[in-house]
Amino acid sequence: MKSLVVYYSRYGNTARLADALLDALRKKGETDITQIEYMDNRQNIIMRTFYRLFPMFVKLAPVKTDLTDYDLLCIGIPVWGGRPSAPVTKYLLLTKNTIGKKAICFYVYGFKESAKRCSKYVKSFLKKKGFSSIENIFIHWDDVGNEASLNQSISEAIIKVSSHKT
């Protein structure tokens, strides 16, 4: 199974989770990692609010969007305003050759209910893009440093996603 870990992280929590996932996946097979970034990182709060409402207008720095070579996309999602942070939504809009691929969505959140709502939105989005199976990992931003529980959640998600047939 070849995997791609993709994440956006403004404050570093989702990045820590992405690194832990990368370590776990590399024990199973070839895994690449790439970070989603704004083309211009100097947005003010007005621009960020605008992008929250209209993520299609976000301009991303170059990032791998073609999933042809991969079986599994792991996408790191900081929850903002009950939705994925705007660069993640824009990334998902740009992804190509997604039909039949597996996904692990890893959410870093402040409020569980909000993260659950966000995951429903992402799941329906990924289904429309033809992903065959979707597993979720939810980590409160306060728990990102809890290595044992992080690794437990990661290995459970990897086992579940590996058991799904393509």
3-state secondary structure the chain: CCEEEEECCCCCHHHHHHHHHHHHHHCCCCEEEEECCECCCCCCHHHHHHHHHCHHHCCECCCCCECCCCCEEEEEEEEECCEECHHHHHHHHHCECCCCCEEEEEEEECCHHHHHHHHHHHHHHHHHCCCCEEEEEEEEHHHCCCHHHHHHHHHHHHHHHHHCCC
Contact region with ligand FMN (CB under 6 A), list: 34-42, 87-95, 109-117, 123-131 = 109-117
Does residue 80 touch ligand FMN according to CB under 6 A? Answer: yes
Does residue 12 touch ligand FMN according to CB under 6 A? Answer: yes
Does residue 114 touch ligand FMN according to CB under 6 A? Answer: yes
Question: Which member of 67, 75, 108, 126 binds ligand FMN (CB under 6 A)?
Answer: 108
Does residue 50 touch ligand FMN according to CB under 6 A? Answer: no
Question: Which member of 29, 81, 100, 130 binds ligand FMN (CB under 6 A)?
Answer: 81
Question: Which member of 3, 6, 13, 38 binds ligand FMN (CB under 6 A)?
Answer: 13
Judged by CB, which is closer to ligand FMN: 55, or 78?
A: 78
Residue 76 · residue 4 · CB < 8 Å: no
Judged by CB, which is closer to ligand FMN: 74, or 115?
A: 115
> Which residues of the chain form contacts with ligand FMN (CB under 6 A)?
9-14, 78-82, 108-111, 114-115, 141
